[in-house]
Structure 1
Amino acid sequence: MNKAANPCGVDVIPPFEARLLLDGDALVANWRDFAACGRAEAGAAIKADGYGLGARAVLERLAAAGCRRFYVAHWHEVPPLLPLPAGVTLSVLHGISAEAMPAARNLPAEPVLATAAQVALWRQTGRPVELMVDTGMNRLGLAPDAVAGIAAGLPIAVLHSHLACTENPAHPLNEAQRACFADVAARVPAGLYALANSAGAALGPAWHFDLIRPGVGLYGGGLLPDGRPSRTVARMAARIIQLRDVPAGAAVGYGAAFVATRPSRIATAAIGYADGYARGLSNAGWALADGVRCPAAGRISMDLAAFDVTDAPPLAEGDWLEIPFDPEAMAALSGRTSYELLVALGHRFERVWR
């Protein structure tokens, strides 16, 4: 072990007590479904550490499958992804700032510029640009009528916009944004035009243009372009720290939120909301022990979760429980979105790909 990375000089790495079990085949299959949904190229959003799964590992697997365009939100997300595989581009969705310029000049990534000030700043580099135009979301982007003037003389590699209401396909803003973007695309030359995110790809070919930018749909959230659920990519597993027998009428955990209705066997496992196992899954989530469903027993705490393993095969302290992580199913149970649940997956997991 590198002493600089390990100043205490300890050569034995302590084991993780929680794991993310990650399915690379499911990840790649999800991306391929986006890539095959029409004539548009499919990139990949890998911001927020690859939606919690590990951005570098996601990039490597999708690049090997043929993905060539990747997107992060912040410049500090770029260095951990280097070196980039051959033929891959990386873009930063938040554009550029004066503070980021010294680093950005030396990094193999391009900003997606969203303001006139950003365009003026990046123009100094002489490098190609990507631009964001606001077509009705009123979040990031240049005004449609201002793009041509602000970007005059710049080589625009990709002209982007972003859809606001794709989770409701019937919302009139979807068509209004598509029409606005098509009008801008007709007036502003660019190498590629990109409008649709994961759910936007399902709106149909008219929204695809040249490039789509799937995000949550790659990682098990939402739907694939043909309407099927995205394949689940992650499962959790946690080590049992303690097993105890709890009599009927006894309570488990904070707030006595679970009261045993029968003599029960309770397994307390090393996973909690600090790891990304949402507190909203208290008395609602479950684990699996040899395929037997074991309900969550009481509140999920910061570092621990208890499960009723009464009906499971015999378990020992130190055994592992598998915890399913279908983002949409967990969202429905916890009251949070699949996006929130994915990006909350913490650094205390050992990420194990297969």
Structure 2
Amino acid sequence: MELPAPPHPSRLIVDCDAIAANFHTLAKRVAPAKCGAVIKADAYGLGVADVAAALLYAGCSSFFVARLCEAERLARVVGAGSDITILNGLDPGSEAACADAGFIPVLNSTSQLAAWRAHARSEARPLPAALQIDTGMSRLGLSPDTALAAANDPDLAGELDLKLLMTHLACGDEPARSVSMKQLSRFEAVAAHFLAVPKSIANSAGAFLPRGFHRDIVRTGIALFGVAPVPKAMRLQPVVRLEARILQIRTIAAGTGVGYGLDHVAPATQRIATIATGYADGWPRSLGGNGAAWHQGVRLPIVGRISMDSLTIDIGGLAEDSISEGDFVELLGPSQSLADVARNAGTIAYEILTGLGPRHARFVIENGQMRPAHDGAAA
């Protein structure tokens, strides 16, 4: 597929058709529960403008972000008719902006709950809200006792239009552990006092737990982007391809050091290539000596340390006439998945995905056609 762009040192290609297909797969998996989309952090770093538009076209109407500024950007893409829920709730002083926009803040603490209720009284109208219950993760959420006190407060209904009662699973990606069942039990004990309010427990991993975890809406995130959240999950389509251009090729003699610290020393005559991606572009330093690039199905190990703007690979496995300066090599794609890179870097796919930097030229595949990505900041 020909790329509609001038020369660039690296390119990140996001397959929005695959995102839509993954949404449909997950929606079918969790039905009759509704499938929502968590697209915080600029759609996990892939660009909220294009990702949200693809999900909206695929039929998604419930979106989750982490911050008010993310909700404001998202609203310019999805417009009216979609629910936008802010998972971190509200910073002090942001209540009016949230209320005016019609966003749904998740009230995670007694201070957030009190501030939102006070603002509702000042506007003399009930305001939309979600309540999060801390069922054992000890990160965000009201205690069960605080939630029950709110449920029994006769003034609550006049101040809050409760759209969701939710919790978050600490170990949803480890289905063999019993802690998720304990969290479910704690949640259900509170949920019994909010009978008319929709419920949400499951994230991407929770979508693959028994249906009792799905309740009314499942908050899918990483799975939308092709990453299986649990072992042996259904097949999801890969979404991201990252390629970087070769800046220079050289042959070095045995005993020659490579890169900062000269950590790699050529054991024999060695052909190496320097490519235009480094840790400023989201390629972790921990991949030095552990990770690889790929070309024509051949693994090309990273040698030496990864620098801010470049890294070096061993291209000895390729015929000399099969690769040249200016060619691209694959960092993410058919030969190497996000999960592969995360494993080699000693981290998780979330961190690799959200860390991909802004310097890559960005493209999307939409309806089978490649085009430059929209600028998410201007969405």
Instruction: Give the alignment's TM-score, normalised by structure 1.
Output: 0.89
Give the corresponding residue for 2:163.
157
What is the rounded CA distance, in whole Å, between the counterparts of 2:244 and 2:203 in structure 1?
33
Would you say the 8 A contact 1:238–1:323 is kept in 2?
yes
- Closer/same/farther in 2, CA of residues 225 and 338 from structure 1, 3 Å limit: closer
What is the rounded CA distance, in whole Å, between the counterparts of 2:131 and 2:8 in structure 1?
42
2:20 aligned with 1:28? yes
192-201 or 166-175, larger mean C-alpha shift: 166-175
Q: Report the Cα offset of residue 165 of structure 1.
A: 1.2
Would you say the 8 A contact 1:299–1:305 is kept in 2?
yes
Would you say the 8 A contact 1:156–1:189 is kept in 2?
no
Give the corresponding residue for 2:363.
352
238-247 or 115-124, larger mean C-alpha shift: 115-124
**Equivalent position to 2:94, from 97, 100, 121:** 100
Would you say the 8 A contact 2:87–2:106 is kept in 1?
yes
Q: Report the Cα offset of residue 288 of structure 1.
A: 2.2
What is the rounded CA distance, in whole Å, between the counterparts of 1:335 and 1:229 in structure 2?
23
Give the corresponding residue for 1:61.
54
- Closer/same/farther in 2, CA of residues 309 and 226 from structure 1, 3 Å limit: closer
Q: Report the Cα offset of residue 195 of structure 1.
A: 0.3
Q: Report the Cα offset of residue 220 of structure 1.
A: 3.0
Larger helix share, 1 or 2: 2
- Closer/same/farther in 2, CA of residues 170 and 269 from structure 1, 3 Å limit: same
Give the corresponding residue for 1:282.
288
Give the corresponding residue for 1:173.
179
Q: Report the Cα offset of residue 64 of structure 1.
A: 0.9
Give the corresponding residue for 2:141.
141
Give the corresponding residue for 2:105.
111
Would you say the 8 A contact 2:102–2:128 is kept in 1?
no
- Closer/same/farther in 2, CA of residues 139 and 14 from structure 1, 3 Å limit: same
- Closer/same/farther in 2, CA of residues 258 and 190 from structure 1, 3 Å limit: farther
197-206 or 121-130, larger mean C-alpha shift: 121-130
Give the corresponding residue for 2:221.
215
- Partner letter of residue 262 of structure 1? A
Would you say the 8 A contact 1:34–1:224 is kept in 2?
no
Give the corresponding residue for 2:44.
51
Partner deviation per Cα, 1:286-314 (whole Å, 9 max, x = no partner): 22223332221221111111112233353
Q: How many residue pairs were aligned?
A: 342
SS at match of 1:274: helix
Q: Report the Cα offset of residue 148 of structure 1.
A: 4.0
Would you say the 8 A contact 1:287–1:296 is kept in 2?
yes
Give the corresponding residue for 1:80.
73
2:299 aligned with 1:259? no
Q: Report the Cα offset of residue 241 of structure 1.
A: 1.5
Partner deviation per Cα, 1:18-57 (whole Å, 9 max, x = no partner): 2112222322222222211132111111111111211222
Q: Report the Cα offset of residue 86 of structure 1.
A: 4.7
What is the rounded CA distance, in whole Å, between the counterparts of 2:313 and 2:60 in structure 1?
40
Would you say the 8 A contact 1:60–1:85 is kept in 2?
no
| Unaligned ranges ≥5, structure 1 | 1-12
76-85 or 293-302, larger mean C-alpha shift: 76-85
Residue identity (%): 40
2:198 aligned with 1:202? no
2:85 aligned with 1:91? yes
Give the corresponding residue for 2:34.
41
Q: Report the Cα offset of residue 225 of structure 1.
A: 9.3
- Partner letter of residue 171 of structure 2? C
- Partner letter of residue 274 of structure 1? A
- Closer/same/farther in 2, CA of residues 225 and 282 from structure 1, 3 Å limit: closer
- Partner letter of residue 174 of structure 1? S
SS at match of 2:111: helix
SS at match of 1:164: coil
Q: Report the Cα offset of residue 95 of structure 1.
A: 0.7
Q: Report the Cα offset of residue 254 of structure 1.
A: 1.6
Would you say the 8 A contact 1:112–1:132 is kept in 2?
yes
**Equivalent position to 1:328, from 300, 316, 339:** 339
- Closer/same/farther in 2, CA of residues 108 and 320 from structure 1, 3 Å limit: farther
What is the rounded CA distance, in whole Å, between the counterparts of 1:88 and 1:136 in structure 2?
30
- Partner letter of residue 104 of structure 2? E
What is the rounded CA distance, in whole Å, between the counterparts of 2:59 and 2:314 in structure 1?
44
- Partner letter of residue 39 of structure 2? I
- Closer/same/farther in 2, CA of residues 212 and 260 from structure 1, 3 Å limit: same
Q: Report the Cα offset of residue 16 of structure 1.
A: 4.0
